[in-house]
């Protein structure tokens, strides 16, 4: 499925994920959906969405949906080959578009980076980080500690992704750099954990926060 958002000169093309489209729509960004599955087209129209039927890799369909006036293109197709086809199509026919692309795996992310995409989002990273945060909370970490750990990990991984993309064809160097990156991250995070001088955690552990995260707090209700 592809959601194309045209409001506010913003195009959102989302294939396989509608959550981003729903988020932007909820914030006043008009939504047009490009869909190749006729059954889904009917369902989406019943849900009140404006839908274009057809293959979203076709430049004429993108143009009809408003890509000429847009500034942003978000690709989240499940098929990495199709994502790269859409990148090529957009580069040729809509060079003004800023592209955000979902990568289905590490290798796919490397290839998107090679093609010049700056905004690459690894498919499982965010869900993995959310699970990690929840696990840390159950293990007694404060809310701020857990969230800060996830942010640190994401930032470090994004930097490592681009560094490793450039050397992935040299396996010894790749593995050596990957090991070094893992060790650096572990040392950084353990050092951060050992730093007792940061009192910002207290701002997170209020009664309202406990209520908000009731389902994700340690089972005994503790926020230690």
pLDDT band at 16 (very low <50, low <70, confident <90, very high): low
For every residue of 14-49, DSSP letters joined together read EES--HHHHHHHHTT--EEEEES-HHHHHHHHHTT-
**pLDDT for residue 4 is more than 90:** no
| Alpha-carbon dihedral angle through residues 83, 85, 91, 93, given to the nearest 10 degrees | -120
Q: Span 2-123: which CATH code?
A: 3.40.50.720
Rounded to two decimals, what is the model's pTM? 0.71
Task: Show me where the domains of the chain are located.
Answer: 2-123, 127-216
pLDDT above 50 (res 1): no
Residue 164 CA to residue 192 CA, distance in Å, equals 25
The mean per-residue pLDDT over the stretch 57-73 comes to 84
Per-residue pLDDT at 110: 93
**What does the pLDDT read at residue 8?**
44
Q: What percent of the chain has pLDDT over 70?
A: 73
């Amino acid at each position: 499925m592809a959601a194309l958002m045209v409001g506010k000169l913003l195009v959102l093309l989302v294939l396989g994920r509608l959550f981003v489209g729903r988020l932007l729509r909820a914030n006043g960004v008009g939504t047009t959906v490009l869909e190749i599955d006729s059954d889904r087209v009917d369902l989406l129209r019943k849900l009140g969405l404006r839908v274009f039927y057809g293959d979203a890799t076709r430049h004429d369909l993108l143009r009809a949906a408003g890509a000429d006036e847009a500034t942003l293109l978000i690709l989240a197709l499940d098929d990495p080959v199709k994502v790269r086809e859409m990148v090529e199509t957009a580069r040729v026919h809509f060079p003004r578009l800023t592209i955000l692309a979902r990568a289905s795996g590490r290798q796919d992310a490397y290839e998107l980076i090679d093609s010049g995409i700056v905004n690459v989002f690894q498919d499982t990273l965010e869900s993995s980080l959310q699970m990690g945060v929840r696990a840390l909370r159950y293990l007694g970490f404060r809310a701020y500690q857990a969230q800060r750990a996830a942010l640190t990990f994401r930032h470090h991984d994004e930097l490592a992704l681009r560094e490793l993309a450039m050397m992935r064809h040299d396996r010894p160097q790749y593995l050596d750099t990957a090991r070094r990156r893992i060790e650096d991250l572990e040392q950084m995070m353990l050092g951060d954990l050992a730093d007792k001088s940061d009192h910002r955690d207290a701002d997170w552990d209020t009664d309202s926060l406990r209520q908000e995260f009731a389902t994700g707090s340690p089972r005994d209700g503790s926020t230690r």
